[in-house]
Chains A and B, each alone.
Chain A
Amino acid sequence: MAEAIVFWTLAVLILGLGIMVISARSAVHSVLFLVVNFLLVAVLYVMLNAEFVAVIQVLVYAGGIVVLYLFVVMLVSLKKAPERYADPRRVAWTGTLLAGAVLLEVVAIVVASSGGGEPAATEGALGAADTPFAECGAGPLVSCNTEQLGWVLYTSYLIPFEVASMLLLVAMIGAIVLAKRHL
């Protein structure tokens, strides 16, 4: 019951904020809606037993990436309205309709697929989970989700993890090169 209340509240807020993000006139307002949206999504993660990801969402997304957006918005939108010119060949509204159609289709698929059967897939429905949740032990020092995630990240996904670190390094260098006027 409580979960349902929270979920529906969050769902409405998230979708509403999402619409606000794409419809706000001021880019700064967009960013604000976006960060709140992300924070709410983080709450959703907590609901789904993903505390670590939730914290990371707040720390990296809300606290880092969106700040970056805010910076850029402040840097570039000072002189003139950004969306003055519209190309006649745009297909924006057709695209919106199309997106709506796709959404409807997906909803249809999802609803249809769950219509007659059990509402939730049972455990292991998609085959044996190779990185299952462990039972959280008792005691103050246990942080199940984070420990497990770290364990998986540094064993099964070690190489992707290292590749991701390389990607970040490359992105950092690329950003510096791009943003600096004279190297």
Chain B
Amino acid sequence: MESIWLIPLLPGIGAAINGLVGIRFFGKRLAGVLASFMMGWALWLSFWAFVELLGTEERFHQVTVASWIPPIPLDTVDGVGSFTVDWSFTLDPLSAMMALIVTGIGFLIHIYSIGYIEHEPRGGVARFFCYLNLFCFFMLTLVLGSNFLVMFVGWEGVGLCSYLLIGYWYHKQSASDAGKKAFIVNRIGDWGFVLGVFLVFFTFGTLDFRAVAEAASQMPVETAAVGFGVISAICLLLFIGATGKSAQIPLYVWLPDAMEGPTPVSALIHAATMVTAGVYMVCRNAVLFTHAPMVMEIVAVIGVLTALVAATIGLVQTDIKRVLAYSTVSQLGYMFLATGVGAFGAAAFHLMTHAFFKALLFLGSGAVIHGMNEEQDMRRMGGLRQYMPITALTMAIGAVAIAGIPPLSGFFSKDEILFRTFLHHGVFVPDRVLWGLGVVTAMLTAFYMFRLINMTFFGAYRGPAWGHGAEEPGHDDAGHGDDHGAGHGHAWHGPHEASRWMTIPLVVLAVGAFFAGFVGVPIAFEAVWPWTATIEHFLHPSFVAQGAHAVEEAHHMSLLGEFGLMGLSVLVALGGIWFAYRNYVERPEAAERLAESLAGPHRVLTNKYYVDELYDATVVRGTMGSAGGLWTVDQRVVDGAVNGTGWTTIAASWVSHILDKYVVDGLVNLTAWICGEASYVFRRAQTGLIQNYAFVTLLGVFAFVTWFLVAR
């Protein structure tokens, strides 16, 4: 546990080596293996740290590596506080779990990337792995950091890395635009986060999570009766940060565009890192948020709305990765719904299971795209299960998991969220409304996921034809370095299964997606499964202040009610699956008819509720317009003033010039003229005869001596 600071550092070292040396000197395989090795090592360390953590009673360990900011006196609400920040890292159940997810999923993605990226040029590969490692470095810093500022380092770092990775193909206009969009949108969230951090320091005089939590636990809960206090403000600001990072309304727009990056990047962003940062941050500050129930309500509402909106958009998307992207947004909405109703454990649980199946789905989609020669449109796929069986099977497992069919992982986590939402009593929102929206979203989720599976792997092949002949003569494939480049580039031999670099991670993830849910079996199954709600118990210490020995609330209703809810959600999911099967496998034309009959809503959904256009019209245009206005002001008023000054100066200088020329120069010339004329007279004294000069000297002597004589 003492070496947890190494966990983020190892990928950082890998990034440094790859970035400084690798881009110039490393081969493709070496760069990938180095990066993967670093991640594997970090995973190993995380695993052992996790095991050690389980062995301790306190379930908390903090390591301070170095002092960052020496104590600076700064004003706080209590007077002068000492602003000091250490490079310290915390291992507690939440961060341990997150570290495991990041390193574990990240390690698999690294492995996968070795296969995925091998057609890039050599330096590009090293650059890619440098970014990947850097991404993990920052994410682990974010996760393990034990105060707001260290977390902020990671927070900004993942933003930077997402920009770098989304714009990895920077020669592509859309990719670089998407990178910039992600960066800028994130910046808005970061603004809120930073303000929140400022307010945290101003309020509590410290930035350490634990200290903040303890201090906050001493303060009253700001219910509606108490009013909107400082903790609520902090939480709201922090949540703005979370919406940016975790793609919630209104800042979710960058995430679908982030699909421009390479697929492993999408997987990394969506499953293991980046987007989970917001959820993690809210969970990390659970004590703060529980003291601000009104903000919790806002979080929950935003979460469920995001889930619903994203799910509806996902219904009609045809790009395989965009469907998954909206699915991610939707699932993140679930997580925020969970945090909003106080079920932080459920949120973290869903985060974990989601990491598995979303990584699986993305990597699977990457394999499909790879096999389809960079084709991303599902309408040009179909029937691929016979060409890529492993991918089809593992993706189907992922889809079942996300749809919430027991006993796969998604069922347990999502059902826990819905169950807790059902029990939740809101401040403003009527009871059950959130739950109802969640259930609807669950059905939509099942529908669009199976729409994806069906359109991709079932039905008839709709993709482009391919020649069965040999490669074109004269084409030299040796430049690719190995013989695996068949599916790529010039000669495409039709859809095919990916290489083992890619399929093995898929299988591992599929196993994970299948079984990950068993750590959080609902208490209702106590009779048949003795280890219920393990993960909630495990994580619980992270969500309460150290000093407050709050007992875990028991969230119970009658067994019948619980099972009823479960059954309802399973039924809803099955309904969605059936609907998808009916429309896209049995009768493919039915979907089109449905779209035609609901043309208006369909168009709205296809255009993503015109949100991008709305933002463009309001925010972007507004910014451009105000910039133009300011520019006009600048040009007319400021420049006018400057030019006016300039003209005034010129005019004044002209007057001055006249004065100078005729008065001053006249005086000077007059002086010179007088000197010149006078010198005609006086130069006669300069005879060139030394003795005359000596005579004058003598004259002076005479004068002095005479004066002396007379004066005495």
Direct contact of A and B (CB under 8 A): yes
Residue-by-residue, is B510-538 near A (CB-CB < 8 Å gives 1, otherwise 0)? Answer: 00000000000000000000000000000
Which of A69-104 touch B at CB < 8 Å? 87, 89-92, 94-95, 98-99, 101-102
Residue-by-residue, is B676-694 near A (CB-CB < 8 Å gives 1, otherwise 0)? Answer: 0000000000010101101
Q: Is A108's CB within 8 Å of the partner chain B?
A: yes
Is there contact, CB below 8 Å, between A91 and B695? Answer: yes
Partner of B694, one of A87, A89, A95: A95
Q: A89-B687, A99-B698 are in contact. Are A109 and B692 (CB under 8 A)?
A: no
Is there contact, CB below 8 Å, between B695 and A94? Answer: yes
Is there contact, CB below 8 Å, between B705 and A90? Answer: no
Give the interface size class of chain B: 10 to 19
CA A109 to CA B699, docked complex, whole Å:
18
Is there contact, CB below 8 Å, between A109 and B708? Answer: yes
Is there contact, CB below 8 Å, between A98 and B695? Answer: yes
Q: Is A158's CB within 8 Å of the partner chain B?
A: no
Is there contact, CB below 8 Å, between B692 and A89? Answer: yes
Which of A39-68 touch B at CB < 8 Å? none
Is there contact, CB below 8 Å, between A102 and B692? Answer: no
- For the complex formed, measure the closest distance between the CB of B709 and the CB atoms of chain A, giving whole angstroms: 5
Q: Is B701's CB within 8 Å of the partner chain A?
A: yes
Q: Is B702's CB within 8 Å of the partner chain A?
A: yes
A91 cross-chain contacts in B, Cβ below 8 A? 691-692, 695
Q: Is B499's CB within 8 Å of the partner chain A?
A: no
Q: Which residue of chain A is the closest to B684 with respect to CB atoms?
A: A89
Q: Is B706's CB within 8 Å of the partner chain A?
A: yes
Q: A98-B698, A99-B698 are in contact. Are A105 and B691 (CB under 8 A)?
A: no
Is there contact, CB below 8 Å, between B689 and A106? Answer: no
Q: Which residue of chain B is the closest to A101 with respect to CB atoms?
A: B702
A92 cross-chain contacts in B, Cβ below 8 A? 691
Is there contact, CB below 8 Å, between B701 and A102? Answer: yes
Partner of B698, one of A89, A90, A95: A95
CA A109 to CA B708, docked complex, whole Å:
9
Partner of A95, one of B691, B705, B709: B691
Is there contact, CB below 8 Å, between B689 and A102? Answer: no
- For the complex formed, measure the closest distance between the CB of A109 and the CB atoms of chain B, giving whole angstroms: 6
Is there contact, CB below 8 Å, between B702 and A102? Answer: yes
- For the complex formed, measure the closest distance between the CB of A101 and the CB atoms of chain B, giving whole angstroms: 6
Is there contact, CB below 8 Å, between A90 and B689? Answer: yes
B706 cross-chain contacts in A, Cβ below 8 A? 105
Is chain A's interface secondary structure helix, strand, loop, or mixed overall? helix
A102 cross-chain contacts in B, Cβ below 8 A? 698, 701-702, 705
- For the complex formed, measure the closest distance between the CB of B700 and the CB atoms of chain A, giving whole angstroms: 10
Is there contact, CB below 8 Å, between B689 and A105? Answer: no
A105 cross-chain contacts in B, Cβ below 8 A? 702, 705-706, 709
Q: A108-B709, A109-B708, A109-B709 are in contact. Are A90 and B702 (CB under 8 A)?
A: no
- For the complex formed, measure the closest distance between the CB of B144 and the CB atoms of chain A, giving whole angstroms: 74
A109 cross-chain contacts in B, Cβ below 8 A? 705, 708-709, 712
Is there contact, CB below 8 Å, between A98 and B691? Answer: no
B708 cross-chain contacts in A, Cβ below 8 A? 109
Partner of B689, one of A87, A98, A99: A87
CA A109 to CA B705, docked complex, whole Å:
9
Which of A102-118 touch B at CB < 8 Å? 102, 105-106, 108-109, 112
CA A87 to CA B692, docked complex, whole Å:
11
CA A101 to CA B702, docked complex, whole Å:
8
CA A108 to CA B702, docked complex, whole Å:
13
- For the complex formed, measure the closest distance between the CB of A114 and the CB atoms of chain B, giving whole angstroms: 13
Is there contact, CB below 8 Å, between A106 and B694? Answer: no
A108 cross-chain contacts in B, Cβ below 8 A? 709
CA A87 to CA B695, docked complex, whole Å:
15
Is there contact, CB below 8 Å, between B692 and A98? Answer: no
Q: Which residue of chain B is the closest to A95 with respect to CB atoms?
A: B695
Q: Which residue of chain B is the closest to A112 with respect to CB atoms?
A: B712
- For the complex formed, measure the closest distance between the CB of B599 and the CB atoms of chain A, giving whole angstroms: 109
Is there contact, CB below 8 Å, between B691 and A90? Answer: yes
Is there contact, CB below 8 Å, between A98 and B709? Answer: no
CA A105 to CA B702, docked complex, whole Å:
9
- For the complex formed, measure the closest distance between the CB of A104 and the CB atoms of chain B, giving whole angstroms: 10
Q: A99-B698, A101-B702 are in contact. Are A90 and B692 (CB under 8 A)?
A: yes
- For the complex formed, measure the closest distance between the CB of B89 and the CB atoms of chain A, giving whole angstroms: 71
- For the complex formed, measure the closest distance between the CB of A176 and the CB atoms of chain B, giving whole angstroms: 25
B689 cross-chain contacts in A, Cβ below 8 A? 87, 89-90
- For the complex formed, measure the closest distance between the CB of B633 and the CB atoms of chain A, giving whole angstroms: 73
Residue-by-residue, is B413-445 near A (CB-CB < 8 Å gives 1, otherwise 0)? Answer: 000000000000000000000000000000000
Q: Which residue of chain A is the closest to B699 with respect to CB atoms?
A: A98
CA A91 to CA B701, docked complex, whole Å:
16
Q: Which of A92, A95, A108, A112 has the most CB of B within 10 A?
A: A95
CA A43 to CA B687, docked complex, whole Å:
42
CA A99 to CA B695, docked complex, whole Å:
9
CA A157 to CA B426, docked complex, whole Å:
104
Q: Which of A99, A105, A109 has the most CB of B within 10 A?
A: A105
- For the complex formed, measure the closest distance between the CB of B530 and the CB atoms of chain A, giving whole angstroms: 105
- For the complex formed, measure the closest distance between the CB of B704 and the CB atoms of chain A, giving whole angstroms: 9
CA A95 to CA B709, docked complex, whole Å:
20
CA A108 to CA B709, docked complex, whole Å:
8
Is there contact, CB below 8 Å, between B705 and A98? Answer: no
Residue-by-residue, is A21-40 near B (CB-CB < 8 Å gives 1, otherwise 0)? Answer: 00000000000000000000
CA A105 to CA B701, docked complex, whole Å:
11
Q: Which residue of chain B is the closest to A108 with respect to CB atoms?
A: B709
- For the complex formed, measure the closest distance between the CB of B693 and the CB atoms of chain A, giving whole angstroms: 10
Which of A140-178 touch B at CB < 8 Å? none
Which of B305-327 touch A at CB < 8 Å? none
Q: Which of A94, A99, A102, A106 has the most CB of B within 10 A?
A: A102
Q: Which residue of chain A is the closest to B702 with respect to CB atoms?
A: A102
- For the complex formed, measure the closest distance between the CB of B322 and the CB atoms of chain A, giving whole angstroms: 92
CA A122 to CA B698, docked complex, whole Å:
33
A87 cross-chain contacts in B, Cβ below 8 A? 687, 689
CA A105 to CA B704, docked complex, whole Å:
11
CA A109 to CA B707, docked complex, whole Å:
11
B694 cross-chain contacts in A, Cβ below 8 A? 95
A101 cross-chain contacts in B, Cβ below 8 A? 702
CA A105 to CA B712, docked complex, whole Å:
12
B712 cross-chain contacts in A, Cβ below 8 A? 109, 112
Q: Which residue of chain B is the closest to A113 with respect to CB atoms?
A: B712
A99 cross-chain contacts in B, Cβ below 8 A? 698
A90 cross-chain contacts in B, Cβ below 8 A? 689, 691-692
Q: Which residue of chain A is the closest to B696 with respect to CB atoms?
A: A91
A94 cross-chain contacts in B, Cβ below 8 A? 695
- For the complex formed, measure the closest distance between the CB of B708 and the CB atoms of chain A, giving whole angstroms: 7
B691 cross-chain contacts in A, Cβ below 8 A? 90-92, 95
CA A90 to CA B692, docked complex, whole Å:
7
CA A95 to CA B697, docked complex, whole Å:
10
- For the complex formed, measure the closest distance between the CB of A106 and the CB atoms of chain B, giving whole angstroms: 6
B687 cross-chain contacts in A, Cβ below 8 A? 87, 89
CA A27 to CA B112, docked complex, whole Å:
114
Q: Which residue of chain A is the closest to B703 with respect to CB atoms?
A: A102
B699 cross-chain contacts in A, Cβ below 8 A? 98
CA A90 to CA B706, docked complex, whole Å:
24
A89 cross-chain contacts in B, Cβ below 8 A? 687, 689, 692
B702 cross-chain contacts in A, Cβ below 8 A? 98, 101-102, 105
A-B contact pairs, 18 of them (CB 8 A): A87-B687, A89-B687, A89-B689, A89-B692, A92-B691, A94-B695, A95-B691, A95-B694, A98-B698, A98-B699, A98-B702, A102-B705, A105-B706, A106-B705, A108-B709, A109-B709, A109-B712, A112-B712
| Closest 8 pairs between A and B when the two form their complex, measured CB to CB | A95-B695, A105-B705, A91-B695, A102-B702, A89-B687, A105-B709, A98-B698, A102-B705
B residues sitting closer than 8 Å to A (CB atoms) are: 687, 689, 691-692, 694-695, 698-699, 701-702, 705-706, 708-709, 712
A residues sitting closer than 8 Å to B (CB atoms) are: 87, 89-92, 94-95, 98-99, 101-102, 105-106, 108-109, 112
12 further interface pairs, Cβ-Cβ under 8 Å (given A89-B692, A98-B699, A109-B712): A90-B691, A91-B691, A94-B695, A98-B698, A101-B702, A102-B701, A102-B702, A105-B702, A105-B705, A105-B709, A109-B705, A109-B709
